């Protein structure tokens, strides 16, 4: 809606004269110019004036550069004083955010309030007196009821007597049923056929184990290194201790240092002999049980598996005349010193090896034990029982293990004059790589390969000479 036109009176009172073109008359009075302010005192100029013409803001403190903190002589100066807008009269003004004030809990209504951080809290002061009294009464009532029940139970339950004559504890009925072929069944069958062997030489003594292989004649097979120290020594004695605790003096029937086997004879009726298995029936992974007297603990039974077969193992003398390389049955059944000469049997309780050595870093079992195969035990034991000595096949060479990086073999160091090797034309520096088609990768494997045959057998020897391979025929000697 347009504004109404002014009346004649309003035009006369407030209208612009016709001779005036601007908002105000040119001859209006002008306010007098104020006199300039007097110059500041010299002390104020020195204290607060800029350090140089044209410089804005605060000048340096009287002591020079601004310090790291305020001091009594320079209470207003710090490193950031020059950039402080409150100290710089030329700093521009700016509009900041509005002030925010925390809400006081007293200004909020109700028992539940929110603090400045947004957390909800219960204000007990706003709870009604009636509700507070009810809560307190409930707590007191619960406590009183609990105390009364506890007192009643403690008074009503009589204290039981300390002793109860004639008490019998429960037992399993029926007894535990053991599966056929379990370790417990094998141990019950084998333990009577395994003996502990005690050897006395002067003031010294040693222990080992043995296996009864002929109950009628009292023959016990063990390791040569167990009994060799007592052979032919005045005052030395060998005693066999059986599973029933009885004992018997033993005599050496024969020893074979080349296989680390020996046979002793005991005089005791009612012996139990262990049946002998066959090496060809043993495979890697078969469960086996070792029985013997490790560390002098008679009748100890451990179990494991066959972890390897035909493992060439050189047996050290250990204070005896044993000098053997065997094609061992390797097992992880724990074997310790004192197991030597003990039985390694299969799941049927048949003998598959005579425990003879362990692989050890500190004298104890680390899960690698070695046993003489049962076929070797049978052959050597029969020879020793026949005439007290055993005969082995011999090639007549001394060798050491070598490899050229691609193929292993046994390097011939010397050849015995008139031996089977000499007659076959084997020379020093020849490298034997096979015997009768069986690979030979070390000097131990050469001994094991030859020992598989009997004296007088003719075998084919494959060897490398001057970089080329050739074959020779050798008739093995007796050793």
Contact by Cβ (8 Å): 201, 238: no
Domains, the chain, ordered by start: 182-390 (2.40.10.120), 393-478 (2.30.42.10)
Name which residue leads in pLDDT, 187 or 115.
187
Structure tokens at 377: 């035990």
**What digits encode the pLDDT tens for the residues 77-91?**
666 666 666 666 556
Q: What's the confidence (pLDDT) of residue 60?
A: 60
Dihedral, CA of residue 19, residue 21, residue 23 and residue 24, to nearest 10: -40
Q: How confident is the model at residue 101 (pLDDT cuts 50, 70, 90)?
A: low
Evaluate if residue 399 carries a pLDDT over 90: yes
Evaluate if residue 64 carries a pLDDT over 80: no
Q: What's the confidence (pLDDT) of residue 44?
A: 66
Q: Can you list the pairs that 133-138 forms with residues at least 24 positions away whose Cβ atoms lie under 8 Å?
A: none
Contact by Cβ (8 Å): 314, 238: no
**What digits encode the pLDDT tens for the residues 122-161?**
665 555 667 778 888 899 989 888 888 887 777 766 767 8
Encode burial over 367-404: b for 16+ CB neighbours within 10 A, e otherwise: ebbbbbbbbbbbbbbebbbeeeebebbbbbbebeeeee
> What is this structure's pTM?
0.64
Q: What's the rounded Cα separation, in Å, for the pair 467 and 169? A: 81
Q: What's the confidence (pLDDT) of residue 337?
A: 86
Q: What's the rounded Cα separation, in Å, for the pair 26 and 125? A: 75
Which helix or strand (DSSP H or E) is residue 327 part of?
strand 324-331
Evaluate if residue 105 carries a pLDDT over 90: no
Evaluate if residue 469 carries a pLDDT over 70: yes
Give the three-class secondary structure for 248.
strand
- What residues act catalytically? 225, 260, 340
Q: How confident is the model at residue 329 (pLDDT cuts 50, 70, 90)?
A: very high
Which helix or strand (DSSP H or E) is residue 221 part of?
strand 219-223
**Would you give the DSSP letter of residue 456?**
T
Mean pLDDT of the chain: 82
């Amino acid at each position: 809606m347009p504004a109404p036109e002014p009346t004649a009176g309003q035009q006369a009172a407030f209208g612009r004269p016709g001779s005036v073109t601007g908002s105000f008359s040119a001859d209006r009075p002008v306010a007098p110019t104020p006199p300039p302010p007097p110059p500041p005192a010299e002390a104020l100029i020195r204290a607060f004036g800029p350090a140089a013409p044209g410089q804005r803001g605060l000048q340096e403190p009287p002591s020079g550069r601004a310090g790291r903190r305020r001091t009594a002589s320079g209470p207003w100066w710090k490193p950031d004083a020059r950039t402080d807008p409150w100290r710089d009269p030329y700093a521009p003004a700016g509009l900041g955010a509005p002030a925010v004030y925390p809400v006081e809990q007293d200004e909020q209504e109700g028992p539940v309030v929110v603090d400045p951080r947004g957390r909800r809290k219960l204000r007990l002061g706003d709870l009604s007196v009636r509700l507070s009294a009810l809560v307190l009464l409930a707590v007191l009532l619960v406590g009183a009821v609990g105390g009364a029940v506890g007192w009643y139970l403690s008074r009503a339950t009589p204290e039981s007597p300390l002793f109860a004559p004639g008490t019998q504890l429960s037992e399993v009925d029926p007894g535990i049923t053991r599966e056929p072929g379990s370790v417990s069944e094998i141990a019950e069958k084998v333990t009577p056929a395994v003996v502990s062997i005690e050897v006395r030489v002067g003031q010294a003594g040693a222990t080992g184990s043995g296996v009864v292989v002929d109950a009628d004649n009292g023959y016990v097979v063990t390791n040569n290194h167990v009994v060799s120290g007592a052979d032919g020594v005045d005052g030395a004695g060998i005693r066999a201790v059986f599973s029933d605790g009885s004992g018997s003096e033993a005599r050496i029937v024969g020893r074979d240092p080349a296989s680390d086997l020996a046979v002793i004879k005991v005089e005791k009726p009612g012996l139990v002999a262990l049946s002998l298995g066959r090496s060809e029936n043993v495979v890697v992974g078969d469960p086996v049980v070792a029985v013997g007297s490790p560390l002098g603990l008679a009748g100890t039974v451990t179990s494991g598996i066959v972890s390897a077969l035909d493992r060439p193992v050189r047996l050290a003398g250990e204070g005896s005349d044993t000098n053997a390389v065997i094609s061992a049955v390797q097992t992880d059944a724990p074997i310790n010193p004192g197991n030597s000469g003990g039985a390694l049997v299969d799941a049927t309780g048949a003998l598959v090896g005579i425990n003879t050595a362990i692989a050890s870093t500190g004298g104890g079992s680390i899960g690698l034990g070695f046993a003489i195969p049962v076929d070797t035990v049978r052959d050597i034991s029969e020879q020793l029982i026949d005439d007290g000595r055993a005969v082995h096949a011999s090639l007549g060479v001394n060798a050491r293990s070598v490899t050229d990086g691609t193929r292993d073999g046994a390097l011939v160091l010397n050849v015995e004059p008139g031996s089977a090797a000499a007659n076959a034309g084997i020379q020093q520096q020849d490298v034997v790589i096979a015997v009768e088609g069986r690979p030979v990768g070390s000097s131990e494997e050469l001994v094991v390969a030859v020992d598989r045959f009997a004296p007088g057998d003719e075998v084919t020897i494959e060897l490398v000479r001057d970089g080329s391979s050739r074959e020779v025929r050798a008739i093995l000697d007796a050793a």
